[in-house]
Amino acid sequence: MNANKAHLTIAALTIAVAACAGADRPSKAKPATGSALAETCGWLVHPADRTYSLIESGTTWSIQKPDDFSSAAGWQGGPEFATDKWIATDGPYGYGCACLNIIKSVGARMVTRYEGGRAMPLAWCRSEPGLEEPGQPVP
């Protein structure tokens, strides 16, 4: 292998390793809305039966609504939360911090498609400027 190829191979590996190192951290950039799938992070709230929403700084996105039984395509209740990542407010209801891969309808403030997500540490949402915690746990 000549020196130029070796240099390019090392550079490519360095970029790949750097990309993988940040894979468990969400992007701080605001995602696009419309037809593009984007990772959106915030509080995933489940306050009542058939009611889910995602709260990001300044906007609440409905994922499933009890009034018309509509929900985002692919929605099955979202990611699973370990007990240390979920705040119970009433029985199975509560909220946690999550990053969801979604498509949003801006006018309807509705998530139209869900393609997976992951629970995040509560500290991540608590540290986001302008992102208020939804409520307090039941004692």
Question: pLDDT tens-digit profile of 47-83?
Answer: 988 889 999 988 999 998 776 666 889 898 899 999 9
**pTM for the full model?**
0.72
pLDDT at 122 over 90: yes
Q: Which helix (H) or strand (E) holds 59?
A: strand 59-64
Give the CA distances from residue 72 to residues 16, 109, 124, in Å, rounded to whole numbers and listed in that order: 33, 11, 25
The predicted pLDDT at position 79 comes to: 95
Q: Which of 22, 56, 45, 37 is nearest to 94 (CA)?
A: 45
CB 26 within 8 A of CB 15: no
